[in-house]
A and B are shown apart, each in its own frame.
Chain A
Amino acid sequence: AQTVTQSQPEMSVQEAETVTLSCTYDTSENNYYLFWYKQPPSRQMILVIRQEAYKQQNATENRFSVNFQKAAKSFSLKISDSQLGDTAMYFCAFMKPVANAGNMLTFGGGTRLMVKP
């Protein structure tokens, strides 16, 4: 079974600064996907970024980028130029696709990020 660990329960950052959220995972699989989801106070689950394990290039999405270290099983999220709207809970998630079953996500415990003005 896969496990996902987020070692930072809470973090804060000043507006316009950069912050990095950590995530490690444990798996024996070679092909999988990793995600960061954002959950604002409304409790929606919003996809931030996705990384395929077979791709060496780190994914980027505007101000969001990841540092994917497959050998170390590490998947950190960097938020540049932090904005007040980035205040949310951030969940790291692991996915191993299974044909005819779907793509179940295993989530980490989350990091609560507060962006301060």
Chain B
Amino acid sequence: EPEVTQTPSHQVTQMGQEVILRCVPISNHLYFYWYRQILGQKVEFLVSFYNNEISEKSEIFDDQFSVERPDGSNFTLKIRSTKLEDSAMYFCASSGDPFSVLHFGNGTRLTVT
């Protein structure tokens, strides 16, 4: 069964550094998402991406965040200048249409020191 893949599985970075989290969604999917889960807390929506542009974003997704689909297969989340509070598990997801199930990747654990 096709799956969403995320790399790296764990990223450690210093405060103030830029970090790029990478995702390869399922190939025929059209909708792409990033979610975040701070340790011990609920999973929170960050952003959705459709037709090569952001379609929805949450209050968490401020100017420090950006997303890109650079080559038709990868979907990336960039954090420009990381803060300690950005430490979390970041999940990429994709879906084929607005009514179908989201398929989640295994997540990238981001640790900001």
A residues near B (Cβ < 8 Å) are 33, 35, 42-47, 50, 91, 93, 97-110
Chain A nearest CB from B88 CB (Å) reads: 11
Contacts of B75 in A (CB 8 A): none
Q: Which 9 residue pairs of A and B lie closest in terms of their CB atoms, listed nearest first?
A: A97-B98, A102-B31, A101-B55, A45-B104, A102-B48, A107-B43, A109-B42, A107-B42, A103-B98
Contacts of B42 in A (CB 8 A): 91, 107-110
A45, B91: Cβ atoms closer than 8 Å: yes
Give the distance in Å from the alpha carbon of A104 to the alpha carbon of B45 in the complex. Answer: 7
What are 20 A-B pairs at a CB distance below 8 A?
A: A42-B106, A43-B37, A43-B109, A44-B106, A50-B101, A91-B42, A91-B43, A97-B98, A99-B98, A100-B50, A100-B98, A101-B55, A101-B98, A102-B48, A102-B98, A103-B98, A103-B99, A104-B48, A109-B42, A110-B42
Chain B nearest CB from A43 CB (Å) reads: 6
Give the distance in Å from the alpha carbon of A14 to the alpha carbon of B42 in the complex. Answer: 26
Give the distance in Å from the alpha carbon of A43 to the alpha carbon of B31 in the complex. Answer: 22
Count of A-B residue pairs with CB < 8 Å: 68
Give the distance in Å from the alpha carbon of A99 to the alpha carbon of B91 in the complex. Answer: 22
Is B28 in the interface zone, CB < 8 Å from A? no
| Interface residue tally on B, bucketed by range | 20 to 34
Knowing A98-B56, A100-B50 touch, does A105 contact B45 (C-beta < 8 A)?
yes
Give the distance in Å from the alpha carbon of A108 to the alpha carbon of B102 in the complex. Answer: 16
B residues near A (Cβ < 8 Å) are 31-33, 35, 37, 41-45, 48, 50-51, 55-56, 89, 91, 93, 95, 98-102, 104, 106-107, 109
Chain B nearest CB from A22 CB (Å) reads: 15
